[in-house]
Amino acid sequence: MKRPHSLIDDLEAADSESAVAMATLISATGSSSKKIGARMLVGRSGRLLGGVTIGGCVDAQVIEAADALLGSGDRRLLAISLDDDEAWEIGLTCGGTVEVMLDRIAPRNDDDPLVAAHAVVRDVLARDESAVVVTTLDGPAAALVLTEDGVCRGTLGSDESDVIAAEIASQVAREGSRVDTIAGRRYFFERHAPPTTLVIIGAGQIAMTLTKLARELEMRSIVIDGRDRYATEERFPSADEIRVGMPSEIVASIPATRRVAVVLVAHDYKYDVPVLRHYLRAPVGYIGLLGSRKRGAAVRDLLREEGFTDDELARVHTPIGLEIGGRSSPEVALSILAEIVAVRNGKRA
């Protein structure tokens, strides 16, 4: 199965490098930063993977520091102001600061604590579970991995630190990555969660674009249809899975978690109604139905007759997607994914 782009993929891609500088965005103030935990890998050969900020000005400084690190330097924490002089002169200052941890890792060395930690994370994510990785920010590199079933791997150097880290990690698992302090020393707590899984019912044009964009958004995609001439690898090269059969039976075999987003784009009640029957009482994070308000109301009425409540029916986003005025299939796909991201980030109910 193909996976979305991730640090794990980046590490694998960097595997041919004997030494790699790994830059990790651990904190940020201001409005222009990437998500905490964003990474860039800089190879000895000059190869770049990923990025720690949206713009290029900070990344350039990080690359310069990474090159120095690969020469002879030690791991270090970079604090970089976003008030770049030149940007300020022309009135484009972003404001704020970012902290970037710069480590030297040996991708082929399993004894490297950071490499070992991410190998554990890879296994955890493959099981569709979450983990928190705690890494030191000063002194030698050390890492502790705490999985959602309570298992600890690695150490921060002392049992006392590991115990306190485990307590903080349980908060981080709920609230997201952050820097925290144990006995006066700073540590980076990084949450790793499985990606959103996009369950797409209907293998038409909108679905084709959805799978491409989903990959860019680091979402898994599963395309489901009853028609084998539609649901093909040729039409869906970016899909993680393509499944042909009775859609209501196929969705019943997919774990329904809050990380699942269900997108009904067949525009055919023969699939919409039975699939909604399955998901309306399942704890998925998002349900969207393609169609007009009138069509959405008709489908809801049909399901209401079967005993579904108004609260259950209100979970269905229809018309699907944010209103961006899109008409073409790619535009509709974009609006759907925008709505899913908005719901996931708490910007939309």
Partner 1 sequence: MTLFRAIVLEHFRHPRNRGALESRNAEADGANPLCGDRIRVQLRIDDGVVTDARFTADACALCIASASLLTEHVRGLRVSELETITGSTINAWLEGDPPAARRKCSLLPLETLHRAVASRAIE
Query: What does the block give as tokens for 125?
Result: 């994510």
Type of residue at 248 = S
226 binds partner 1 (CB under 8 A): yes
The DSSP-derived string for 61-81 is HHHHHHHHHHHTPPPEEEEEE
229 binds partner 1 (CB under 8 A): yes
**Identity of the residue, 195 or 247, whose beta carbon is nearer to partner 1 in the bound complex:** 247
129 binds partner 1 (CB under 8 A): no
Other C-beta atoms closer than 10 Å to the C-beta of 161 total 19
**Identity of the residue, 123 or 268, whose beta carbon is nearer to partner 1 in the bound complex:** 268
Please give the Cα distance from 26 to 176 (Å, whole number). Answer: 12
**Identity of the residue, 227 or 347, whose beta carbon is nearer to partner 1 in the bound complex:** 227
How are strands ordered across the β-sheet holding 260-264? 241-244, 220-225, 197-201, 260-264, 286-289, 316-317
- Region binding partner 1 by CB under 8 A among candidate stretches 6-14, 120-128, 169-177, 220-228: 220-228
Q: Which residues pair with 223 in a beta bridge?
A: 200, 242
Backbone angles phi, psi at 170, to 5 degrees: -65, -30
**Identity of the residue, 302 or 341, whose beta carbon is nearer to partner 1 in the bound complex:** 302
C-alpha 280: how far from its chain's center?
25
Query: What does the block give as tokens for 136?
Result: 């030191």
297 binds partner 1 (CB under 8 A): no
**Identity of the residue, 51 or 247, whose beta carbon is nearer to partner 1 in the bound complex:** 247
Which of positions 257-296 make contact with partner 1 (CB under 8 A)?
266, 268-271, 274-275
Q: Which residues contact 111 (CB under 8 A, 6 or more apart)?
A: none
249 binds partner 1 (CB under 8 A): yes
**Identity of the residue, 21 or 256, whose beta carbon is nearer to partner 1 in the bound complex:** 256
245 binds partner 1 (CB under 8 A): yes
Binding mask 301-320 for partner 1 (x = CB under 8 A): -x--x---------------
Q: Shortest Cβ distance from residue 294 to partner 1 (Å)? A: 18
Q: What sections of 74-158 are H helices per DSSP?
A: 85-89, 113-126
CA-based R_g, the chain, Å: 23
Smallest CA-to-CA distance from 190 within 131, 115, 125, 133 is with: 133
Query: What does the block give as tokens for 8?
Result: 């794990």
227 binds partner 1 (CB under 8 A): yes
228 binds partner 1 (CB under 8 A): yes
248 binds partner 1 (CB under 8 A): yes
Binding mask 75-114 for partner 1 (x = CB under 8 A): ----------------------------------------
Task: Tokens 């004997």: give the residue.
Answer: 18
234 binds partner 1 (CB under 8 A): no
Q: List residues binding partner 1 (CB under 8 A).
A: 225-230, 245-249, 266, 268-271, 274-275, 302, 305
